[in-house]
Amino acid sequence: LQRVRVRLRARPSNYEIKVGASLLDQLGAQSRQSLDPRARSIALISNPKVFKLYGERARESLRREGFSVKHWLMPDGESHKSLGTLEGALEFLSRCRLERSDAVVALGGGVVGDLAGFAAAVYLRGIAFIQAPTTLLAQIDASVGGKTAVNTAAGKNLIGAFHQPRAVLIDTDTLQTLPRRELTAGWCEAVKQGAAGSRKLFDQTCAFLSSPSAVERASSSTRIERLIAAHCAFKAGIVAGDEQESLARLDHRSRRILNFGHTVAHALESVTNYRRFRHGEAVGQGMLVAGEISKRLGMLDASELELLREAVSSTGRLPRADDLDQAAIRAALTHDKKSIGGQLKWVLLERIGRAVIVDGREITERLLRASLRAGLRQ
């Protein structure tokens, strides 16, 4: 069992992340420990696929600790991380008659976690919630840091809130049922975290990915526990220093460095109508373009870029991106919601483990074209 302590400036928001095998059976005990002693009811939010696999165990564990448990299943998929689904979730919380001392538990991937977390953030102006993430991406990234959101027609995650969980319980056994593409997408985000902020984490991730057995990658070995815990600790460290992603921060420890690869990823997702790529897969492609830009600006050594390429390719096969209309990708880049005052900020690399934030005006159209061509080649 691995433990990671998340220390935020406001002391009551500190919480613990636990990573280990069979932890779902401890969901009840963990909730008892993390919640207000008066907590009686738990509203469990999941989706049909995840609930069928793990819902009964989660419910059982909560009931053993004396909680009254009601569950509600949102439809599966990113397109349901919407205001309409949020309304359904809030109606469910009202029907449960949750009180201020009660809690929401999110059981699922990042979609369930983001939506359930947002519902908990706004219901009664904020009630406790606990994350039980079941995808690799949610375990190393989405469940840590307190960002919650839903999408609108105008873009992803446009409506949301910062709302920290009371605890994050990561049962690594759940990865055994995760489809291969979801694992690849998660590994791409893992490579991103290391590349943007920690050479040690990058090396640890690459060493794990280079081990021959694909089965082992999804197993509940202590090696994966340690790796997931290292990723949580890394992300928690960044979040603790910049909880709300301050606009003023442009340094190499600002929360914004976690957007490495995301500028191009969002453009790729948008030009393919969110149908071709899992988000993490698009981040894999996006990191290669950002790496090319960094190299062409004279910031990143070619050998470091090669390491990044190898790391991305070790995550698995990514959907192709070299057949897409480059003009459409460039047009989509100009609509990036992370731009400030109309200007895109690129997260680039000085070396593996150290990101820099660069104003979009420093990247010429010619350099961008060349980097897209080179970065997106198969």
Ligand X SMILES: NC(=O)c1ccc[n+]([C@@H]2O[C@H](COP(=O)([O-])OP(=O)(O)OC[C@H]3O[C@@H](n4cnc5c(N)ncnc54)[C@H](O)[C@@H]3O)[C@@H](O)[C@H]2O)c1
H-helix or E-strand spanning residue 215: helix 214-217
Strand partners, 351: 354
Nearest residue to 178 (alpha-carbon basis) of 230, 231, 217, 146: 217
What amino acid occupies position 8?
Answer: L
Strand partners, 340: 343
141 binds ligand X (CB under 6 A): yes
263 binds ligand X (CB under 6 A): no
Nearest residue to 173 (alpha-carbon basis) of 24, 1, 2, 17: 24
108 binds ligand X (CB under 6 A): yes
Nearest residue to 286 (alpha-carbon basis) of 315, 317, 265: 265
**For residues 211 and 205, what is the distance between their CA atoms, to the nearest angstrom?**
10
Nearest residue to 2 (alpha-carbon basis) of 228, 154, 175: 228
**For residues 189 and 35, what is the distance between their CA atoms, to the nearest angstrom?**
30
Per CB under 6 A, which region of 61-69, 142-150, 198-206, 285-293 contacts ligand X? 142-150
Number of residues that bind ligand X (CB under 6 A): 29
Nearest approach in angstroms of CB 279 to ligand X is 6
157 binds ligand X (CB under 6 A): yes
Strand partners, 333: none
Per CB under 6 A, which region of 10-18, 135-143, 220-228, 285-293 contacts ligand X? 135-143
26 binds ligand X (CB under 6 A): no
Q: Is the Cα dihedral 329, 272, 263, 217 positive or negative? A: negative
284 binds ligand X (CB under 6 A): no
Q: Report the SS3 class of residue 326.
A: helix
Structure tokens at 218: 């999804």
Among 114, 269, 292, 336, binds ligand X (CB under 6 A): 114
Smaller CB separation from ligand X, 48 or 66:
48
Radius of gyration over every alpha carbon of the chain, rounded to an integer in angstroms: 20
Q: Give, as ranges, the residues between 65 and 104 that touch ligand X (CB under 6 A).
A: 76, 78, 81
Smaller CB separation from ligand X, 114 or 304:
114
Nearest approach in angstroms of CB 170 to ligand X is 11
Per CB under 6 A, which region of 84-92, 134-142, 295-303, 313-321 contacts ligand X? 134-142
Among 102, 182, 281, 292, binds ligand X (CB under 6 A): 182
**For residues 376 and 321, what is the distance between their CA atoms, to the nearest angstrom?**
6
* Binding-residue pattern over the window 160 to 179 for ligand X, x denoting contact by CB under 6 A: --------------x--xx-
Smaller CB separation from ligand X, 175 or 307:
175
Smaller CB separation from ligand X, 39 or 236:
236
Residues of this chain that interact with ligand X (CB under 6 A) are 47, 49-50, 53, 76, 78, 81, 108-112, 114, 134-135, 137-138, 141-142, 145, 147, 156-157, 174, 177-178, 182, 185, 279
